Chains A and B, each alone.
Chain A
């Protein structure tokens, strides 16, 4: 697998990433050790909610509009303030692309 596996249960694809992918169903309250991840300011992240297999957890704090990085690339932007350890998904992360609805509003 490319990237770094943390605590055997989550995957950070590159050091620039602001989210990790859960490789197991993770429960709220669990700590993830991230001191090996260069882009992370802290040593560990505490899960603020359950994160199912394949879903993403925030490694850093993000303000609304901040880019969200996975694969070292922008996968969208924070649609709300996101704290480290929060589940990151469609409720708080939005696509910047293929937004016919937004473009129509601008026209």
Chain B
């Protein structure tokens, strides 16, 4: 059984990084969180985001769930939640939800601390103390079955569906066979391929939920009276040879491999450990989608790209895989795995092995290109007014 080493947390989960997360509850607290992370130790990471101080209830719940889930991610050893102090999201609530995983959590109110300068100073001090606490953690051996592996695609072109995605899919199949969890998302990119996923659902309940989510995402186009063709495939996808959303979807779903779909969870909801292939209902926006899966507990992400991408994440290492030999050459400093060799004759299984090995070595501590360059984006999906109306049953 493949193994790696990681940091065992009190809730039993295993982290592949030992971060202290600084989580702002709003856009207002975000620059303070960033300043705290900049002043503190290198293992401290902020998750600045764009959400406001008062959101509609469903949107607020999603923001809170994402922040709490990010703090609970096993790559996080301790967390500091920062608020201005006037938000509808209460830092103590987020902290309580994180504390249930047994890790140290502190809160900081910018108002109570006496303004921004004082808050940054106080925050850096608290973060420093948390670093001291998490540094006691030592890597120990863990089983591949304890990995939750999120897969994402962005900047797709025709090589994504031919090379990078099916090769990452092979790695997902190997992980699932070894007892782990693989997760892909981006529901708009199931459109036109949902019949294939539906056939693979483990039971009728999962199948119905999956088809409902796909309908809801497709209905959004109708609800807004828009033609998805302008955005899906994107202009970049189109330059890369992708003509329709169906074509993009058929290529996109291959990154999850071929095993049964065991379940589908909400955006940023907890992903099971040892759960097989589980889908998450996320939008097609790459960074928001990655954030959702990391909040769900994914420790490592694979990101396939044909046209190129620089994306990373503050909490989980992101392995960049390209199936386009030109992109491998042109963006070598941002890529980790060359799946373009498939086009030159390598079998998908050979490249799949290489990706699985990379997953295990990255879990074991090897830094990804995005980590080496400190490319770390974080964005929370905002539920849009039309979606809120739909959720309330008030669709036009």
The answer to whether A binds B is yes
Chain A residues engaging chain B, CB cutoff 8 angstroms: 1-3, 11, 13, 21-23, 52-56, 70-71, 73-76, 88-90, 93-104
CB-CB contacts of B306-345 with A at 8 A, as 1s and 0s? 1000000000000000001010000000000000001101
B244 CB within 8 Å of chain A: yes
Closest approach, in angstroms, between the C-beta of B104 and any C-beta of chain A? 46
Contact call B247/A75, Cβ cutoff below 8 A:
yes
Contact call A95/B228, Cβ cutoff below 8 A:
yes
Closest approach, in angstroms, between the C-beta of B251 and any C-beta of chain A? 8
Contact call B218/A97, Cβ cutoff below 8 A:
yes
Contact call B166/A2, Cβ cutoff below 8 A:
yes
A-binding segment of B53-61, B140-148, B175-183, B235-243 = B235-243
Chain B contact residues: helix, strand, loop or mixed: helix
* Chain A residue at minimum C-beta to C-beta distance from B341: A1
B223 CB within 8 Å of chain A: yes
Residues of A within 8 A of B193 (CB): 73
Closest approach, in angstroms, between the C-beta of B221 and any C-beta of chain A? 4
A93 to B29, alpha carbons, bound, how many Å?
A: 48
- Please name 28 pairs of A and B residues whose Cβ atoms are closer than 8 Å in the assembled complex, sorted by A: A1-B348, A53-B241, A54-B240, A71-B250, A73-B250, A75-B244, A76-B246, A89-B238, A89-B241, A90-B238, A94-B229, A94-B244, A95-B192, A95-B243, A95-B246, A96-B192, A96-B244, A96-B246, A97-B191, A97-B244, A97-B245, A98-B228, A98-B229, A99-B229, A100-B225, A100-B228, A101-B225, A102-B227
How many residue-residue contacts, CB under 8 A, span A and B?
114
* Chain B residue at minimum C-beta to C-beta distance from A76: B244
A3 to B343, alpha carbons, bound, how many Å?
A: 11
Residues of B215-231 contacting chain A, CB below 8 A: 218, 220-229
A-binding segment of B76-84, B129-137, B155-163, B201-209 = B155-163
Residues of B within 8 A of A102 (CB): 227
B62 CB within 8 Å of chain A: no
Closest approach, in angstroms, between the C-beta of A78 and any C-beta of chain B? 11
Residues of A within 8 A of B259 (CB): none
Contact call A1/B227, Cβ cutoff below 8 A:
no
* Chain A residue at minimum C-beta to C-beta distance from B238: A90
Closest approach, in angstroms, between the C-beta of B83 and any C-beta of chain A? 39
Given A2-B348, A54-B159, A73-B193, A101-B246 contact (CB < 8 Å): no
Residues of A within 8 A of B244 (CB): 75-76, 93-97
Contact call B342/A100, Cβ cutoff below 8 A:
no
Residues of B within 8 A of A55 (CB): 158, 241
Contact call A99/B243, Cβ cutoff below 8 A:
no
Task: List 4 other contacts, CB 8 Å, given A95-B244, A98-B245.
Answer: A22-B241, A56-B241, A71-B250, A100-B225
A27 to B342, alpha carbons, bound, how many Å?
A: 23
Residues of A within 8 A of B192 (CB): 73-75, 95-97
A104 to B224, alpha carbons, bound, how many Å?
A: 9
Closest approach, in angstroms, between the C-beta of A69 and any C-beta of chain B? 10
Residues of B within 8 A of A11 (CB): 162
Contact call B243/A103, Cβ cutoff below 8 A:
no
A96 to B244, alpha carbons, bound, how many Å?
A: 8
Residues of B within 8 A of A103 (CB): 221-222
B66 CB within 8 Å of chain A: no
Given A1-B343, A54-B241, A71-B161, A100-B224 contact (CB < 8 Å): yes
Closest approach, in angstroms, between the C-beta of A39 and any C-beta of chain B? 17
Contact call A21/B250, Cβ cutoff below 8 A:
no
